[in-house]
Amino acid sequence: MRVLFTTWAAPGHLFPMVPLAWAFQAAGHEVRVAGPPACQDAITQAGLCAVGVGDQAAIAALPKPPELAAWGRPARWPHGWSAHLDLLDAGQRRVIRALYEKQCAVAGLILDDLIDFGRWWRPDLVVHDVLAMAGPVLAAVLGVPAVGHGWEIGSTLHPPTGDADTEPLPAYLGLFERYAADVTEPAGWIDPCPPSLRPPDGPPVRRLPMRCVPYNGSGGQPGWLAGRDRPRRVCVTAGVAGARYRDPGGPDVLTLTLESLAAVSDAEIVLAPSGPLAEEGLPDQVRVARGVPFRTLLPTCDLVVHHGGAGTALTAVVLGVPQLVVPPSPICTEIGHSVARVGAGTMLDRLDSTELLLKTATDMLAAPDSYREAAGRVRSETAALPSPSALAARLAAS
């Protein structure tokens, strides 16, 4: 069969889908991955065939709604909001609506190319990122099934909704109307999140559980990973998307963390940047790891301090590494809550003092066993889920 994956406009959203794409490909199915130009290198570096759709300049030129300024700030949203949008106040609802409308605008810029390719290639199945709103539209136009592919720990799996939280967003409906296609919901939602990390009472959707197999991009393993300059090693990262979270009113996650951990004299700090980084002025014990996949680096570490990205958190859980989460945004905070709830780590507010961050990191390094045991329990849950190969076989047979 032919399987067409559609990703969103950032490589971090592609990564969770790569193991399933590999599984289909290894089973002899034809696989293509469609995405905006910004994702093409990431797709081909994963060993997959890329299909470019949309114009990157037009996507980059999309105006940023003013409501989204609140998304990158460490405000305190109600815990559990991602599964219960009714907990949000009017201003927070406007932020979520603006987020969805922006994703619909991105979809609108790639759909013509995507549908042209789909009509020519004729896929039998469309697998789309939960934010790739073009995927369900393509499937509806072609009359083939679609399944959504989740990647979050804290968020829900459902089509974008409006203020009533029940009816689809008008901008989303407009994408179907543009091609005279009937609005259809995905046949299921692929969920790589272990059960204990999911929202306790999320929406009633058809979940297709799949074991999380960490993929964080291509790269190599440097020789220094096998040894240490100091007794302990702490990984610090803001993930693929973390570099975008900058609060003009305060320090970013990386700056805050490095300033705090500089006082841990017996720990080697490995900084895993996702983009350009000025290395001048870094503390002596900081080593910069460029081009090292997170899944390769993390098993050598005693602790990971990160921003609360889903891929980072899931990789750490699967590898059994304690986590200290310092989230810069509402959804990252939900992920931090989930990690802390199961005991696999601790979460701090980005507005907390550097002294508290230092104390927490020091305490976790001194007594890591409870965190490792909790992560081990979640790791066992993960191992019990169907592998990407098993899910690929199930989808191919349905």
pLDDT tens-digit readout, 27-37: 999 999 999 99
Distance CA 44, CA 142 (A): 26
Are the C-beta atoms of residues 215 and 271 closer than 8 Å to each other?
A: no
Among 3.40.50.2000, 3.20.20.70, 3.20.20.100, 3.30.1490.100, what is the CATH number of 2-210?
Answer: 3.40.50.2000
Consecutive 10-residue averages of pLDDT for the chain (398 residues): 92 92 98 95 96 94 84 73 81 86 93 98 96 95 95 60 62 94 91 86 79 91 87 81 47 67 82 68 80 91 89 90 87 88 88 74 84 91 95 96
CB-based burial of residue 227 (10 Å sphere; 0-12 exposed, 13-18 middle, 19+ buried)?
exposed
> Which pTM does this prediction carry?
0.90
Distance CA 290, CA 278 (A): 13
Task: Output the CA–CA distances (angstroms, integers) from residue 384 to 74, 85, 195, 342, in the order listed.
Answer: 35, 31, 10, 17
Looking at the chain, the domain(s) classified CATH 3.40.50.2000 span 2-210, 223-383
Tens-place pLDDT, residues 54-110:
999 999 999 888 887 777 665 678 888 877 778 888 888 888 888 889 999 999 999
pLDDT computed for residue 252 by the predictor? 57
- For tokens 């507005």, what's the residue? 351
Q: DSSP states of 305-323 as a string?
A: EE---HHHHHHHHHHT--E
The CATH number of the domain covering residues in 223-383: 3.40.50.2000
Task: Output the CA–CA distances (angstroms, integers) from residue 84 to 60, 151, 180, 330, in the order listed.
Answer: 31, 18, 32, 14
Distance CA 193, CA 196 (A): 8
pLDDT computed for residue 247 by the predictor? 45
